[in-house]
Amino acid sequence: MQIDVKILDPRMNDNLPAYATPGSAGLDLRACLDAPLTLEPNAWQLVPTGMAIYLEDPGFAALILPRSGLGHKHGIVLGNLVGLIDSDYQGQLMVSAWNRSSTAFTIEPMERIAQLVVVPVVQAQFKVVQEFPASQRGEGGYGSTGKA
């Protein structure tokens, strides 16, 4: 599938996100910073990516997710946990970088800090009813099926 992209930072001309392997789901987003950004423990900052996308089709959205290496080894995850990019959003993709660790971490300019995944979306309509048809689970949840 093709997506319209606007390059907002000239450094992105040679650095457009690409799938790292044929089976990759995520496109790495870069920190378009002018200078290194140090995130103290529990600090978070909105980081520009230097690019905007326009999905256009409401049957798609994009998710911004942490990179596992940064998240697991350095505690750099997302201030909003997951970023949801609407199909009609045309502004710059922004990454809320949150240092959830107890050690300061410095993000270098153009470092790959998060990843974008394009996903299909179904827009549902609500239909108000008084009763649902019976299901096997019913209202059970929160461990109702047991542990083993």
Residue 9 labelled as part of a binding site: no
Question: Rounded to 5 degrees, what angle do the CA atoms 82, 88, 94 make?
Answer: 40
Q: Build a one-symbol-per-residue string for 48-87: x at contacts with ligand DUT by CB under 6 A, - elsewhere.
A: ----------------x---------------x--xxxx-
Specify the residue, 37 or 64, whose C-beta has the smaller distance to ligand DUT.
64
Inter-residue contact 79 to 97 (CB < 8 Å): yes
Name residues contacting ligand DUT, limited to 85-104 (CB under 6 A): 85-86, 89, 93-94, 96
Name residues contacting ligand DUT, limited to 30-49 (CB under 6 A): none
Burial class of residue 77 (count of CB atoms within 10 Å of its CB; 0-12, 13-18, 19+): buried
DSSP string, 39-77: E-TT-EEEEEEEEEEE---TTEEEEEEE-HHHHHHH-EE
Q: Which residues are annotated as a binding site?
A: 67-69, 80, 84-86
* Interface contacts to ligand DUT, rule CB under 6 A: 64, 80, 83-86, 89, 93-94, 96
